[in-house]
Chain A
């Protein structure tokens, strides 16, 4: 294997790997500071922060010849025998100078800057900068202007790395951002009348290494050092982008993309990015309720007659109500994790061995949309259709969908139905819901009230995406496991917890145990045995091999 020598340390790397010096140094645990370089964008080598010394070791003699000049690490590929020096005096001096230069025009308004705490300019200044500010030249400005509906530009904080400009050119393909003027008067801007308004716009804020681009949704909401980050998966569409849910005290403040080369690379769409507000919507269903015995649910569309039920009682009463009704139909929502789906199906078949199982409603808007950089937003607006279908397959119900279930119920095939949903958007109309009007028992488990919920004999709250734990399988059959990021609001049991208890299992709901059972018992989920990497695993891995 080829070898690169980083500060005297020999590191092997794959013969097929094309690495630059920054990436190669990382293999050795050395971080070369950089602003303008980003693995997902073209290389401009303009910030000059990553200047290092390089050389080449002769394969035969072992003699090292150094390049006399400094080279940008981002632009310099490594090959077998490349020598990288990241900590020489020359390099250190050069970094200090670049850092000093970048701060000449910077307003240094960290106390009111959203980026403070996760700002490369701050971090590198502490690490590589000089203690004294020598450029005590002139009063400075701190200007702010809108560049789009979701993004503000703090003009004078910008260090002109042009990551954002390159993003709009290379990834979103919309080219709204540009550089105006020259020299130190340079600014990022948009052309008048053409704001930064595309479906991936929020990524420029993540890309910005300093506090120049601010996300209006997050601006001044929370100091970043209070935020906890939980690796999570976006539930906005079937793409299943890897995200970090950033939260504090059970409140989500923002979602950030999490690098996953198999799924979303470094990006997420704005729909996903801002798709967490419904979690904290005051209109959410927040307690389990049961229509009181004797009150007819027909023609009584208000809350009248619904009494709250303690969760401990839900487990037992729900079982007995459904068992009494017999002939059960269950809609397994594509919002559920595979663990939840499997437990729900198991509960249903334990109540009624003939229970009719079907995939729940699959929200869809338009076609898949692919951007020039390859990023795709899926038209299928739910995260786990593939996973639920696989689970249904284990119960011999692989090909039944929502429409089949509605027809089954409307045709009198069921006396009880259990509908799980959990969609952020309204999903069912009164006309469709009417098919469920004549059932003995109707269990609806959802985030929000709906015409269907009005008919329910059992109203159960659902958990939002960040409140669940388990595994989702995206459109490309990649299974990603995640933990609960925040606790659901008081009074809400995530679906998994209810099913776990209904199955009579002991202790706290443990999705990992369920996953391991699934993996051990079914070929379709065999890949889920053991620990799953943060970037997930392809369920078809055994079929491919």
Chain B
């Protein structure tokens, strides 16, 4: 693999790399000055569109295309919401960017606001990131002092305020309309679409929601150019007209049972095995991987034999996973019970389901309680069929829920049962030697409390 020099992470390890002076010394804000002086908003939109940048938040939707959904000639205000509610288990690339190079993010936000004609940007930060909170706020203050934020920036007539909003720790706030509701001070129940946020978003105004890493990519595209960005990654599959390609560098969050967990920058398309071996120092304690989560648990599970899958936007889908997601690669070694893994996943989603749509609210809780029973040694083989059914229906049938949480909760169930069924069966037979074959429903339910 050719040596790849980190770009998004270039400030990592640099003393005081998070300060304005350091960022400018690396060439930061010069592209912004150039854009403000020479370009029109539409030029920036075209640049980002040409770069093929796809959103780094999980869904991988084309960033430039998203911006063009905003109504033309809208009298404003238009809002930019930057999603820093990084809650997908195993994901921490936004945190690294916000802590070590906040100005890169801010420059990206200013450029994106300029492109979308947004006059206000909100950064929705998850509560659990105190250092990001301090560093980002300090960087915003520095940017105001240096005249990159505020009224009439650099005499161009373009004004921008950035507000840092700290969430209260809920997974659903990372869903773009849940984020908008939360930002409006409401319960973070995702909105029904249409209307999409680009038409009617925050405070019922046109709104763009982008991820922190996407913002950093915008800053780098402005600095290094579209050609540079397109030289990295995986080009579009000519046989698949719906594949726009996976260009640019990507921050992979490697964690779990590896020797050297961490956030690593690599070109899109690196395989999971390369990532684990070359960056992570291999599976820990000399063991083998049993399963690997390709991009956050909601993307499902890959088996050891599927590790040569390229981790680009299209790759994980080819081995039965949902997609690349947040590129949070979690390695599970061969000594770990897949029952425990799935139980943990189900517990997370049952806890984080916002409770709005019936299939997700009840399905996540049902699957968790079935896993609890299996873990408690009372499982029956029949339960696996039920679990598989939940995994293949909850949120899977398109349109059956408002947002994608149910879908994300279903993929690990579906993958785990499909790919590791024999292990589940062994576990159930071993822990419930007398009852694993029972197929009758439990006859009567016991009332524990009645009014």
Once the chains are docked, how many angstroms separate the CA of A325 from the CA of B189?
75
Q: A49-B358, A182-B354 are in contact. Are A143 and B364 (CB under 8 A)?
A: no
Pair A44/B356 contact, Cβ less than 8 Å: yes
Q: A48-B400, A132-B441, A183-B352 are in contact. Are A102 and B362 (CB under 8 A)?
A: yes
Once the chains are docked, how many angstroms separate the CA of A133 from the CA of B442?
9
Q: Quick one: which of A48, A90, A108, A141 contacts B358, CB cutoff 8 A?
A: A48
Residue with the greatest number of chain A CB neighbours at <10 A, chosen from B170, B172, B399, B447: B399
Pair A182/B352 contact, Cβ less than 8 Å: yes
Q: Quick one: which of A90, A107, A160, A184 contacts B364, CB cutoff 8 A?
A: A184
Instruction: Kindly provide the distance from the CB of A112 to the nearest chain B CB, expressed in whole angstroms.
Output: 9
Pair A137/B373 contact, Cβ less than 8 Å: yes
Residues 102-116 of A at the B interface (beta carbon under 8 Å): 102, 104-105, 107-109
Residues 99-137 of A at the B interface (beta carbon under 8 Å): 101-102, 104-105, 107-109, 132-137
Q: A142-B450, A182-B170 are in contact. Are A45 and B402 (CB under 8 A)?
A: yes
Instruction: Chain A residues near B446: list those with CB within 8 A.
Output: 139
Pair B352/A44 contact, Cβ less than 8 Å: no
Binds B, one of A7-15, A64-72, A448-456: A64-72
B397 within 8 Å of A by Cβ? yes
Q: A70-B399, A75-B192 are in contact. Are A179 and B355 (CB under 8 A)?
A: yes
Instruction: Chain B residues near A71: list those with CB within 8 A.
Output: 399
Q: Quick one: which of B192, B361, B370, B449 contacts A186, CB cutoff 8 A?
A: B361
Instruction: Kindly provide the distance from the CB of B343 to the nearest chain A CB, expressed in whole angstroms.
Output: 15
Task: State the interface size on chain B (CB cutoff 8 A).
Answer: 41
Pair B361/A144 contact, Cβ less than 8 Å: no
Instruction: Chain A residues near B356: list those with CB within 8 A.
Output: 44, 46, 160
Once the chains are docked, how many angstroms separate the CA of A183 from the CA of B187?
13
Q: A140-B448, A144-B451, A184-B355 are in contact. Are A44 and B399 (CB under 8 A)?
A: no
B353 within 8 Å of A by Cβ? yes
Pair B397/A137 contact, Cβ less than 8 Å: no
Contact string, B339-381, partner A, CB cutoff 8 A, digits 1/0?
A: 0000000000011111111110111111001100100000000
Instruction: Chain A residues near B365: list those with CB within 8 A.
Output: 104-105, 183-184
B386 within 8 Å of A by Cβ? yes
Pair A183/B400 contact, Cβ less than 8 Å: no
Pair B358/A98 contact, Cβ less than 8 Å: yes
Pair B400/A184 contact, Cβ less than 8 Å: no
Instruction: Kindly provide the distance from the CB of B107 to the nearest chain A CB, expressed in whole angstroms.
Output: 36
Instruction: Chain B residues near A141: list those with CB within 8 A.
Output: 447-450
Pair B358/A186 contact, Cβ less than 8 Å: no
Pair B451/A51 contact, Cβ less than 8 Å: no
Instruction: Chain B residues near A136: list those with CB within 8 A.
Output: 441-442, 445
From A137, which residue of chain B is reached at the shortest CB distance?
B369
Q: A136-B441, A140-B447, A184-B350 are in contact. Are A69 and B398 (CB under 8 A)?
A: yes
A529 within 8 Å of B by Cβ? no
Instruction: Chain A residues near B400: list those with CB within 8 A.
Output: 48, 51, 70, 94
Contact string, A144-155, partner B, CB cutoff 8 A, digits 1/0?
A: 100000000010
Pair B364/A139 contact, Cβ less than 8 Å: no
Instruction: Chain A residues near B402: list those with CB within 8 A.
Output: 45-46
B393 within 8 Å of A by Cβ? yes
Residues 430-451 of B at the A interface (beta carbon under 8 Å): 441-442, 445-451
Once the chains are docked, how many angstroms separate the CA of A376 from the CA of B402?
35
B401 within 8 Å of A by Cβ? yes
Once the chains are docked, how many angstroms separate the CA of A137 from the CA of B397?
25
Instruction: Kindly provide the distance from the CB of B273 to the nearest chain A CB, expressed in whole angstroms.
Output: 35
Instruction: Chain B residues near A142: list those with CB within 8 A.
Output: 447, 449-451
Instruction: Kindly provide the distance from the CB of B180 to the nearest chain A CB, expressed in whole angstroms.
Output: 15
Pair B358/A101 contact, Cβ less than 8 Å: yes
Instruction: Chain A residues near B362: list those with CB within 8 A.
Output: 101-102, 104-105, 184
Once the chains are docked, how many angstroms separate the CA of A44 from the CA of B402?
9
Once the chains are docked, how many angstroms separate the CA of A491 from the CA of B451?
43
Instruction: Chain B residues near A140: list those with CB within 8 A.
Output: 445, 447-448
A138 within 8 Å of B by Cβ? yes
Instruction: Chain B residues near A24: list those with CB within 8 A.
Output: none
Pair A101/B355 contact, Cβ less than 8 Å: no
From A105, which residue of chain B is reached at the shortest CB distance?
B362
Instruction: Chain B residues near A134: list those with CB within 8 A.
Output: 386, 441
Instruction: Chain B residues near A182: list those with CB within 8 A.
Output: 170, 172, 351-355
Q: A48-B359, A137-B366, A137-B373 are in contact. Are A184 and B353 (CB under 8 A)?
A: yes
Instruction: Chain A residues near B373: list those with CB within 8 A.
Output: 137
A159 within 8 Å of B by Cβ? yes
Contact string, A181-198, partner B, CB cutoff 8 A, digits 1/0?
A: 111111000000000000
Task: State the interface size on chain A (CB cutoff 8 A).
Answer: 48
Pair A70/B398 contact, Cβ less than 8 Å: yes
Instruction: Chain B residues near A97: list those with CB within 8 A.
Output: 359, 393
Contact string, A169-212, partner B, CB cutoff 8 A, digits 1/0?
A: 00000000001011111100000000000000000000000000
Instruction: Kindly provide the distance from the CB of B189 to the nearest chain A CB, expressed in whole angstroms.
Output: 8
A47 within 8 Å of B by Cβ? yes
From B440, which residue of chain A is reached at the shortest CB distance?
A136
Pair A48/B357 contact, Cβ less than 8 Å: yes
Instruction: Chain B residues near A534: list those with CB within 8 A.
Output: none
Instruction: Chain A residues near B386: list those with CB within 8 A.
Output: 134
Instruction: Chain B residues near A184: list those with CB within 8 A.
Output: 350, 353, 355, 361-362, 364-365
Residue with the greatest number of chain A CB neighbours at <10 A, chosen from B172, B358, B446, B451: B358
Pair A69/B399 contact, Cβ less than 8 Å: yes
Instruction: Chain B residues near A75: list those with CB within 8 A.
Output: 192
Instruction: Kindly provide the distance from the CB of B355 to the nearest chain A CB, expressed in whole angstroms.
Output: 4
Instruction: Chain A residues near B398: list those with CB within 8 A.
Output: 68-70
Instruction: Kindly provide the distance from the CB of A53 to the nearest chain B CB, expressed in whole angstroms.
Output: 9
From B172, which residue of chain A is reached at the shortest CB distance?
A182
Pair A101/B363 contact, Cβ less than 8 Å: yes
A43 within 8 Å of B by Cβ? yes
Instruction: Kindly provide the distance from the CB of A299 to the nearest chain B CB, expressed in whole angstroms.
Output: 57
From B362, which residue of chain A is reached at the shortest CB distance?
A101
From A106, which residue of chain B is reached at the shortest CB distance?
B362
From B353, which residue of chain A is reached at the shortest CB distance?
A183
Q: A71-B399, A160-B361 are in contact. Are A133 and B353 (CB under 8 A)?
A: no
Instruction: Chain A residues near B399: list those with CB within 8 A.
Output: 51, 69-72
Instruction: Kindly provide the distance from the CB of B209 to the nearest chain A CB, expressed in whole angstroms.
Output: 20
Once the chains are docked, how many angstroms separate the CA of A45 from the CA of B450?
31
Contact string, B154-195, partner A, CB cutoff 8 A, digits 1/0?
A: 000000000000000010100000000000000101001000
Instruction: Chain A residues near B354: list those with CB within 8 A.
Output: 182-183
Once the chains are docked, how many angstroms separate the CA of A141 from the CA of B350?
19
Instruction: Kindly provide the distance from the CB of B292 to the nearest chain A CB, expressed in whole angstroms.
Output: 27
Once the chains are docked, how many angstroms separate the CA of A47 from the CA of B359?
8
Pair B357/A133 contact, Cβ less than 8 Å: no
Instruction: Chain B residues near A159: list those with CB within 8 A.
Output: 358
Once the chains are docked, how many angstroms separate the CA of A135 from the CA of B386?
9
Once the chains are docked, how many angstroms separate the CA of A96 from the CA of B108?
48
Instruction: Chain A residues near B448: list those with CB within 8 A.
Output: 139-141
Pair A101/B445 contact, Cβ less than 8 Å: no
Once the chains are docked, how many angstroms separate the CA of A136 from the CA of B393?
19
Instruction: Chain B residues near A102: list those with CB within 8 A.
Output: 358, 362
Q: A71-B399, A139-B445 are in contact. Are A183 and B361 (CB under 8 A)?
A: yes
Contact string, A34-51, partner B, CB cutoff 8 A, digits 1/0?
A: 000000000111111101
Q: A70-B400, A182-B352 are in contact. Are A46 and B357 (CB under 8 A)?
A: yes
Instruction: Kindly provide the distance from the CB of A538 to the nearest chain B CB, expressed in whole angstroms.
Output: 36
Residues 386-408 of B at the A interface (beta carbon under 8 Å): 386, 393, 397-402
Instruction: Kindly provide the distance from the CB of B118 to the nearest chain A CB, expressed in whole angstroms.
Output: 27
Pair A94/B358 contact, Cβ less than 8 Å: no
Once the chains are docked, how many angstroms separate the CA of A136 from the CA of B370?
10
Using a CB–CB cutoff of 8 Å, the interface residues on chain A facing chain B are 43-49, 51, 68-72, 75, 90, 94, 97-98, 101-102, 104-105, 107-109, 132-144, 154, 159-160, 179, 181-186
Q: Which 7 A-B pairs have the closest CB atoms?
A: A144-B451, A184-B365, A69-B399, A101-B362, A69-B398, A136-B442, A183-B353
Q: Taking A136-B442, A184-B353 as given, write out 5 further A-B residue pairs in contact, using a Cβ cutoff of 8 Å, ordered by the A residue number.
A: A44-B192, A46-B356, A90-B397, A132-B441, A159-B358
